[in-house]
Amino acid sequence: MPELPEVEVVRRSIDVPLRGARVLALRLGKPLRWPLGCAPADLAGRVGGPGQRRGKYLWMPLAADGREPGGLLWHLGMSGSLALLGAGPAPPGPHDHLDLVTDRGTLRLHDPRRFGAVVFSRGLDVAPAAALLARLGPEPFDPALTPLALHAALRRRRAAVKSVLLAGDVVVGAGNIYACEALFAAGIHPALRADRISRPRAARLLAALRATLGRALELGGSTLRDFSDAHGAAGAYQAQAAVYGRAGQPCLRCGAAVRRIVQGQRSTFFCPACQKR
């Protein structure tokens, strides 16, 4: 579920409420992808700082006077979502695997598939956080990621451009929905080898990726099943998807039937007429 826009939506929805919030307790449910990496009690008394996002990871600094610095690195995996609950929250359900109880409310992680994770790290640039972020490419909105820089990075990759976007080492943020949508917007066939993309087309791809992610962010992300921000607000981008999940339906631009293929074990949707090799 959560690709860059959804994670950023979540970050914004918890940043103000949790900045300055004091941790009272942390309750764990079923195991997530990785262990927390510290004793839950070690977090009590720490105070939330400004949240950051890197790729699809969220970083929540938790400071404490006289103690080592640290914070929590969150990843929502495929089915994770966060909810900020008021005083006296409902008891956790079977898929609520972590409650961060603070004096400003309880931040609850809901994640049926448990591909998500919450990991304590003393900082972003030290283990374990650093290892998890090590292979991430540049942020899509980083001004240093110029059309030329993207083109140069794509030229080093022989895999299909769709797979390269998903891999996240050339540029982070696009998951299956937005990779498909950005390629449609750029008029690029998803199976085209990345190293065969011309400079002008790389420029179009970068612009399309930014426009797609930016639009999704404005609309609160995509809610396919049950994604919402920490206040329960659903996203609206999914209704605007031009190709994702629309196999067999007419392309919104040319009317040709949208196709579904499989690349790297993932579904890819595209318009065979609008997207050229």
Which parts of the chain are beta strand (E)? 23-28, 47-48, 52-54, 57-63, 71-75, 81-85, 96-102, 105-110, 117-121, 259-263, 266-270
**196 is a catalytic site residue:** no
When the beta carbons of 106 and 163 are compared against DNA, the nearer one is 163
Quick one: the chain helix, strand, coil %, rounded to 5?
Answer: 30, 25, 50
SS3 23: strand
From the candidates 27, 199, 253, 266, which is the catalytic residue? 266
**181 is a catalytic site residue:** no
The continuous run of DSSP H or E covering 105 comes out as strand 105-110
Q: In whole angstroms, how close is the CB of 23 to DNA at the nearest point?
A: 25
Paired with 28 in beta bridges are: 98
Nearest to 68 by CA among 35, 45, 102: 45
From the candidates 2, 5, 61, 140, which is the catalytic residue? 2
Q: In whole angstroms, how close is the CB of 177 to DNA at the nearest point?
A: 5
**46 is a catalytic site residue:** no
From the candidates 53, 56, 201, 259, which is the catalytic residue? 56
When the beta carbons of 70 and 168 are compared against DNA, the nearer one is 168
**3 is a catalytic site residue:** yes
Q: What are phi and psi of 268, to 5 degrees?
A: -125, 135
Q: Which positions ≥6 away from 152 have C-beta within 8 Å? A: none
Q: In whole angstroms, how close is the CB of 21 to DNA at the nearest point?
A: 26
The continuous run of DSSP H or E covering 270 comes out as strand 266-270
Q: How far apart are CA 246 and CA 231, in angstroms?
A: 29
Q: Which of the 8 DSSP states describes residue 19?
A: T
Chain residues binding DNA by CB under 7 A are 1-3, 6, 30-31, 33, 55-57, 75, 77-79, 94-95, 112-115, 132, 135, 156-160, 163-164, 166, 168, 175-177, 194, 221-227, 235, 264-267
Q: In whole angstroms, how close is the CB of 66 to DNA at the nearest point?
A: 32
Q: In whole angstroms, how close is the CB of 104 to DNA at the nearest point?
A: 26
Catalytic (active-site) positions: 2-3, 56, 266
